[in-house]
Structure 1
Amino acid sequence: MLTDVAITNPFPGLRAFEEQEDVLFFGREKQVDELLKKLRTVRFLAVIGSSGSGKSSLVKSGLIPALYSGFMSGAGSQWRICTFRPGSDPIGNMARALAEDGVLFHPQNTEEQLTLGAINESILRRSSQGLVEAYRQSNIDTKNNLLILVDQFEELFRFSKLEKDAKEVKRDSVAFINLLLRATEQRELPVYVVFTMRSDFLGDCTEFRGFPEAINEGQYLVPRMTREERRDAITGPVAVGGGLIASRLINQLLNDVGDNPDQLPILQHALMRTWDIWKKKGDPDAELDIDDYEEIGTMQHALSQHAEEAYAELTSDRQRKICEVMFKALTDKASDARGIRRPRKLGEICALANAPINEVIEVVDVFRQSGRAFLMPPASVKLEADTIIDISHESLMRVWDRLIAWVDEENESAQVYLRLCEAADLYETGKGGLWRDPELQVALKWKEAQAPNATWAGRYNDMFEKVMLFLDHSRSQYELEIKHKEEQQRKRLKKARTLATFISGIALIALFLSIYSFQQKNVATKQTKLAEAKTKEALEQEKIAREQKLIAEKNREQALSQKALAEKSKEEALKQKDIANDERTKALKSEQNALLQKSIAEQQRSYAQRNEQLAKEQQMIAEEQKKKAEQNEQLAVSEQKVSNRLKDLAEARNLAYQSVLLLNENKDKESIDAALKAYDLNNRQHGPEQNTDIYNALHFNWVNSIDNKNQSLFHKYAVKSVTGKAGSNIVFSADESGQIAMFMSDGEKLQLLHSINTRQDIRSLVMSTDGSKLAAFSAAGVMFVYSITPEQAIKEAQQVRFTGIPKTAGYHNGSFYLYTSEGLSRFSADGDKMVANGSIARKDINAMTVSGTGKILLAIGNKISMYSGWDALDQPIQTFTSAGTLVITMAMDPTEHYLAAGTYKGMVWIKDLKSSNSTYSNALHLSSVNDLEFGKTADGKVQLASASSDQTIKLIDVKDAVSANRLEDIVTLRGHNKWIYALHYAANGSLISASEDNKVITWKPATSDLYKSVSALSK
């Protein structure tokens, strides 16, 4: 076989060197010796290196031939090698590899090999000692060393993630690791384990208990080859193959490779192609030279150019489509952004491509024929339905431009499908709604372009049928809504025409009436002047009369006062006379009594002296008992106070509950009294200011008293955004029809000041700090900039285009900042105009907010990074990890004391930025948190409001939450009947919310403020 290699091509290309190709493997002699020493010591060897560093070749064509040659002292030369990859069935793959001829058995045919594989798998799954037991039951001579070689070990981490996503109780990935560890810990049987793994997956090893410790003992990090070693790797195979290579080509290759370790497969591929070009020329005495190397496109383009040549050999669109589906299936960037190979059975590829096996084999053979080896297995292996097809090396994923585009396209397609899975699951459980534009249109275009099937979807999630039903239902519902809106529009137009005709008639009648009114007005004016003169005279007479009356009343009051004073003096004199007589009688009696008491005192003095000593002793005892009694009394009083307080607090909540029941029975006065008593009792016992029961009792009474006028019904479509002018009670809201409204908030309701219609779906509103400019961002990619006039009117200034669907916007120091589905954009003032002033393409961002001092916060997954400004987005000044999963909204309070984040699963996270340990995290909502807003309530407390798709708003006392006192309740506001999109605190302390149900609602977030309003109702 080596002779054949020498005759054809001594370079393997992208694939790794195999065991029988050791005579072609050069440049790694030192590393082979180091591996032998390490393996002899630990029996568990982890060969770690970056992609393309030659890990597999080092083990297969370096270590294994050395073992067969007996170069590992104390182990001999009798070795059984079990080589496999984990794939999606690590234990099953190991069992089948152990059953291959020459490992533990010598099966006579395929059927016997399958049977042995099943037996092995049963033994391996029995316990963590399964690998040792399988060796023991094979009855081979214990002088035979067993080497378990696990190639591409990183595949196990992808499999482990799938297990965790499926919430498997017994995980094969954990059992597989334990089999390897237990086998190498024992010394009774000669079992060794070697595996190869990409270094960027080292962190994933910590997932398995005991695995990092074993790697630390047996890790071998593949070093970079020196320039001389790379020279040997180039010249050695050429010499074995019987060729010559020019020195200048050697130097050119060494320079092109540089110090980048992942260039080795590309180097091997370039040498293989160069050898083929040299061989075609038919001059064995000529050297491989620069012209041969440049003809194949050099290392920079050789691989991509070669792959394109193979792709060009596909003769039909059908074959090219099969090729695209196949390579998308063999690569994986959706489950791991680092990009890994994903081997698949040929039968699976046929199902994905909806093609018969013979058509797929034709395409596979194009990419695995001699001199290419883009796919495995080699061309010499016959393909069957269960044959594993794999890309020969990750380098192809990084270099072939067409495959790079396919991988990105597949990743985007997978992300759309996974989002649909999540939405369908939430809808099924009643925690989410159907999709609407623009998400719906994106999904429908995806379905039409990608034509997904159940086999493809099964790679990511098994909810394909549910997803398709969800998508169809969403489209049907959307079409019904459009039809309904069109019908409503026709009715409104018809009504408007009828109304216009009626108004015209009324106007004509009004004209005649106005003429008659003018005539009558002249007559009334004359009568009015006469009446005014008479009225003036009457008022003067009335004034004189009032003055005379006041003088008379004053004189009468003085007379009465003098009379009362005289009578009082007379009574006092008589009283003093009686007192003097009584005192004289008492004095005589006291004198007689004093003489008697003197005699008695003399007698008692002698008794007192005898009892004095006894009294002192009794006094000491009494004082001690008194102290104990006082202590017990204080304890009893304290316990009684606690008991009374808890009783009163419970009674307060009961009164609040009774208040709501009374209100439902239309007993308004009784309900108000009960609500006020509940608040007073709670306040008197120093209960929590923010209590859900008491808040609801007061809130429902307040809303009932104003006849639900806190709900603005101006908008006729879903309201997506609400904002306001800083330090004022001016509020702006915008809906999906493009209607932007300007209101004045009085703390209870909204008064419409002005409105304007953009006729585009407005997704976000943001206002400049000085209140002079309002920016509205539409789903169609248009930024509408408005100036707000001193007369409180909205005046359009200009329109600016941007790309992507807007998510969140912010403002600082003359610039608007926008986060869209495509990345970040900044718009700044240029004279009187706003112009685009920078953009950053970032699709990995899922939330953004801008602080009052210009800090920009970006969320990727559940990681939050804080940047000092737009020009410093490459270096965060602080990073945080929020609890839960994907962060979709953030907020920072105006003083930059607190940072809050909300996730798509309903988690709310609050961080005290002034304290490293003060953090609050809790799943407050049943669905996604759509908006967060900090505000100061009417009683001065810092409060966080969170709006969710579960149709509720939560009010959180921030200081209480982050300090972990948990004294205050988290109040739940219910009033919307669809998703709540946005929140805003007005300067008067009221909270404004916007929802899918077309409503903009005003709330009083402070319980004390509600109490004042309800108290006024009882007077």
Structure 2
Amino acid sequence: MSGIFISHSSRDQSAAQEMAERLRAQGYQSLFLDFDPADGIPAGRDWEREIYARLRSCSGVLVICSAHSMASDWCFAEITHARALGKRLFPVIIGECTLRPLLLDTQVVDLRAAPEDGYARLWRGMRSAGLDPTDSFAWESGRAPYPGLAPFQAADAAVYFGRDPEQRRCLDVLAQMRRYGGDRLLVVVGASGSGKSSLVRAGVLPRIARMPDWRVLGPMRPLHHPDEELARLLPPGRQPPAGEAVGAALASAFADEPERPAVLLVVDQLEELVTTSAPEAAARFVQTLRAALAPEAGELYCLATLRADYLGSLQALPAWDALPFRQLPLAPMNASHFAEIITGPARVAGLELEDGLVEALAHDTGSPDALPLLAFALNGLWRAFGDDRRITLEEYRERFGGLEGAIRQEAGAVLAALAPAPEALATLRQAFRQLVRVEPEGGYARRAARWQDLPAPAHPLLQAFVTARLLVSGQEEGGARTLEVAHESLFRAWDLLRRWLDEDRAFLLWRQHALAAADA
């Protein structure tokens, strides 16, 4: 979405287009230009409402000043509205004109006599006002500003809020590892639902990708065959000959580039080496990782995420054998972050939240453990009521009945829409048995399963849960489809599923012990 709003007369389109191109060349990727096919108003949207929504969401307004724009009532309305919203204004004179009085108290850049000098002054002024292009990310207007239970992705960087200190710390540690040597594996460790994957995918990687001295491989997940998943990351033409080490190929994946950049391997959900991967494949993965991280192999580093309750189990793997790494502990967000993760994406998306709604959502969230429920509720509110760019307190109360009610009602709505027969419901229960495992402390955790291994009569119901974003569909090496629960909060919030799992606990424990014995 628009980090910079370009206000201009329709008769100055060529000048506005040139300005947008220069802004992008400076690194400002998040722009709003109303005639731009990429960043302008989508077809079918209310023009005036959309303009004001974009003004609410922007960080600053660049006013192209000409005789046409200074005579335009629409431009005057945009400037007035921007000032009322407290936006920073950057007037730029491109032709002879008389400035509107409300622009006279603002520093003006004149491009007429010496354009390049004027642009240099404009870039300095924008940076000094806090509009740093390195922290500006584009947001697609058709994309949900709240991803829900799924982790934030790189495309969500513009709407990722609440983790600035941890984001900076992660980038700093990676820079220190490269500058001073030592450990080359950095592991972000935190509880389930603390946002480890989102921090790495939406907070860290989009910024690393802009650094010319880094190249990224991944992110990947270990899944059932982590050694094969790792080999898939190699760029085309970099696959090693049969019998040669994958680790060395990873470390030298970009060695032909003249800048000889460092390589960052990204592994999400490292705990799957313990919970999901075949033991032999996990051992091969660790051996390959160890070889790739050796200084003599090349300049490769690894950034991984790990659930805190699996740290000991991971280190106990025989193949791990004291593999050195640095930890970056990720504490749960506290209540002071709740308002930011609600209002930040709304600001980017130009979404108006009725007075009292933010406070109600933050109050209902209560503790960091409920953040996944908040994420799901926000996504549901956006999908149900976001078309008019406004969400009300009544819509939240009447539609969802609280945060846990959001998941409960969504799951119930899926079943109500399909009205499955008792036999179909029984097969759905059987399918969920394969999507869960019992943790040592007694709770439930998600477990990926192959689509083909799930009961075929349950497939239509399972697909409906995927559409509702309560289940996530993936793909293994070779194209085999996989399925897993979007987040463990589903096990807590959906009463019917919780009852099924509690009744089936003895079977689930027996199956886990049998599988562990078979793998031993």
Q: For this structure pair, what is the TM-score category when the shorter chain's length is used for normalisation?
A: 0.5 to 0.7
**Pick aligned residue for 2:216 from 58, 80, 94:** 80
Name 1:330's counterpart in structure 2: 435
Post-superposition Cα deviations, 1:551-599, rounded to whole Å, max 9, x if no partner, equal: xxxxxxxxxxxxxxxxxxxxxxxxxxxxxxxxxxxxxxxxxxxxxxxxx
Does the 8 Å CA contact 2:438/2:509 hold for their aligned counterparts? no
Pair 1:390–1:418, CA change in 2 (3 A): closer
Q: CA deviation at 1:10?
A: 1.3
Name 1:278's counterpart in structure 2: 385
**Pick aligned residue for 2:294 from 151, 165, 185:** 185
**Pick aligned residue for 2:247 from 116, 128, 131:** 131
1:316 matched to 2:420? The reply is: yes
**Which one has the bigger strand percentage?**
1
Instruction: Look up the SS of the partner of 2:356 in the other structure.
Output: helix
Pair 1:203–1:14, CA change in 2 (3 A): same
Whole-angstrom CA distance in 2 between matches of 1:32 and 1:194:
13
Whole-angstrom CA distance in 2 between matches of 1:403 and 1:323:
10
1:302 matched to 2:369? The reply is: no
Name 2:445's counterpart in structure 1: 340
Name 1:64's counterpart in structure 2: 205
Does the 8 Å CA contact 1:275/1:288 hold for their aligned counterparts? no
Does the 8 Å CA contact 1:7/1:241 hold for their aligned counterparts? no
Whole-angstrom CA distance in 2 between matches of 1:8 and 1:159:
32
Name 1:90's counterpart in structure 2: 226
Name 2:236's counterpart in structure 1: 105
Name 2:303's counterpart in structure 1: 194
Name 1:235's counterpart in structure 2: 343
Post-superposition Cα deviations, 1:11-34, rounded to whole Å, max 9, x if no partner, equal: 111110011111111121221110
1:387 matched to 2:481? The reply is: yes
Pair 1:62–1:138, CA change in 2 (3 A): closer
1:375 matched to 2:471? The reply is: yes
Post-superposition Cα deviations, 1:703-758, rounded to whole Å, max 9, x if no partner, equal: xxxxxxxxxxxxxxxxxxxxxxxxxxxxxxxxxxxxxxxxxxxxxxxxxxxxxxxx
Name 1:482's counterpart in structure 2: none
1:53 matched to 2:188? The reply is: no
Does the 8 Å CA contact 1:278/1:292 hold for their aligned counterparts? no
Name 2:358's counterpart in structure 1: 250
Taking the TM superposition and a 5 Å limit, the aligned residue runs for 1:919-930 are none
Query: Which AA in structure 2 matches 1:324?
Result: R
**Pick aligned residue for 2:169 from 22, 31, 34:** 34
Pair 1:182–1:398, CA change in 2 (3 A): farther
Pair 1:251–1:398, CA change in 2 (3 A): same
Q: CA deviation at 1:244?
A: 0.7
Normalising by the residue count of structure 2, what TM-score does the alignment of the two structures yield? 0.64
The percent of aligned pairs where both chains have the same amino acid is 25
Q: CA deviation at 1:366?
A: 0.6
Instruction: Look up the SS of the partner of 2:304 in the other structure.
Output: strand
Pair 1:62–1:227, CA change in 2 (3 A): same
Pair 1:388–1:140, CA change in 2 (3 A): farther
Instruction: Look up the SS of the partner of 1:377 in the other structure.
Output: strand
| RMSD (Å) for aligned C-alpha atoms | 3.4
Pair 1:63–1:360, CA change in 2 (3 A): same
Query: Which AA in structure 1 matches 2:249?
Result: E
Taking the TM superposition and a 5 Å limit, the aligned residue runs for 1:792-941 are none
Whole-angstrom CA distance in 1 between matches of 2:335 and 2:508:
43
Normalising by the residue count of structure 1, what TM-score does the alignment of the two structures yield? 0.34
Taking the TM superposition and a 5 Å limit, the aligned residue runs for 1:455-474 are none
Does the 8 Å CA contact 2:438/2:508 hold for their aligned counterparts? no
Whole-angstrom CA distance in 2 between matches of 1:8 and 1:184:
37
Pair 1:336–1:185, CA change in 2 (3 A): farther
**Pick aligned residue for 1:411 from 481, 505, 510:** 505
Instruction: Look up the SS of the partner of 2:306 in the other structure.
Output: strand
Whole-angstrom CA distance in 2 between matches of 1:61 and 1:176:
25
Pair 1:185–1:11, CA change in 2 (3 A): same
Does the 8 Å CA contact 1:80/1:144 hold for their aligned counterparts? no
Q: CA deviation at 1:175?
A: 3.2
Pair 1:87–1:417, CA change in 2 (3 A): closer
1:262 matched to 2:369? The reply is: yes
Q: CA deviation at 1:219?
A: 0.3
Q: CA deviation at 1:332?
A: 1.3
Whole-angstrom CA distance in 2 between matches of 1:43 and 1:144:
15
Whole-angstrom CA distance in 2 between matches of 1:65 and 1:23:
10
Whole-angstrom CA distance in 2 between matches of 1:34 and 1:329:
38
Query: Which AA in structure 2 matches 1:308?
Result: G
Whole-angstrom CA distance in 2 between matches of 1:137 and 1:233:
37
Whole-angstrom CA distance in 1 between matches of 2:339 and 2:329:
21
Taking the TM superposition and a 5 Å limit, the aligned residue runs for 1:378-777 are 386-415=480-509
Whole-angstrom CA distance in 2 between matches of 1:173 and 1:336:
24
Whole-angstrom CA distance in 1 between matches of 2:188 and 2:377:
26
Name 2:273's counterpart in structure 1: 156
Does the 8 Å CA contact 1:322/1:363 hold for their aligned counterparts? no
Does the 8 Å CA contact 1:47/1:55 hold for their aligned counterparts? yes
Whole-angstrom CA distance in 1 between matches of 2:393 and 2:237:
48
Pair 1:80–1:334, CA change in 2 (3 A): closer
Q: CA deviation at 1:65?
A: 0.4
Pair 1:14–1:137, CA change in 2 (3 A): closer
Query: Which AA in structure 2 matches 1:306?
Result: E
Shift >4 Å, 4+ stretches: 1-5, 137-140, 209-215, 334-338, 415-419, 459-463
Number of aligned residues: 375
Whole-angstrom CA distance in 1 between matches of 2:215 and 2:322:
27
Query: Which AA in structure 1 matches 2:414?
Result: A
Instruction: Look up the SS of the partner of 2:219 in the other structure.
Output: strand
Report which structure shows greater RCO (CA 8 Å, sep ≥6): 2
User: Could you list the runs of 5+ residues in structure 2 that have no partner in the other structure?
Assistant: 1-37, 43-138, 178-182
Q: CA deviation at 1:202?
A: 1.8
Does the 8 Å CA contact 2:314/2:320 hold for their aligned counterparts? yes
Does the 8 Å CA contact 1:47/1:197 hold for their aligned counterparts? yes
Pair 1:298–1:331, CA change in 2 (3 A): same
Does the 8 Å CA contact 1:333/1:407 hold for their aligned counterparts? no
Query: Which AA in structure 2 matches 1:206?
Result: Q
Does the 8 Å CA contact 1:332/1:407 hold for their aligned counterparts? no
Whole-angstrom CA distance in 2 between matches of 1:37 and 1:402:
45
Pair 1:68–1:184, CA change in 2 (3 A): same
User: Could you list the runs of 5+ residues in structure 1 that have no partner in the other structure?
Assistant: 71-75, 108-115, 164-170, 422-458, 464-1019
Pair 1:301–1:189, CA change in 2 (3 A): same
Does the 8 Å CA contact 2:286/2:320 hold for their aligned counterparts? yes
Does the 8 Å CA contact 1:159/1:173 hold for their aligned counterparts? no
Does the 8 Å CA contact 1:16/1:57 hold for their aligned counterparts? yes
Instruction: Look up the SS of the partner of 2:418 in the other structure.
Output: coil
Query: Which AA in structure 2 matches 1:56?
Result: S
Name 1:611's counterpart in structure 2: none
Whole-angstrom CA distance in 2 between matches of 1:360 and 1:143:
51
Q: CA deviation at 1:224?
A: 3.0
Does the 8 Å CA contact 2:248/2:297 hold for their aligned counterparts? no
Does the 8 Å CA contact 2:335/2:368 hold for their aligned counterparts? no
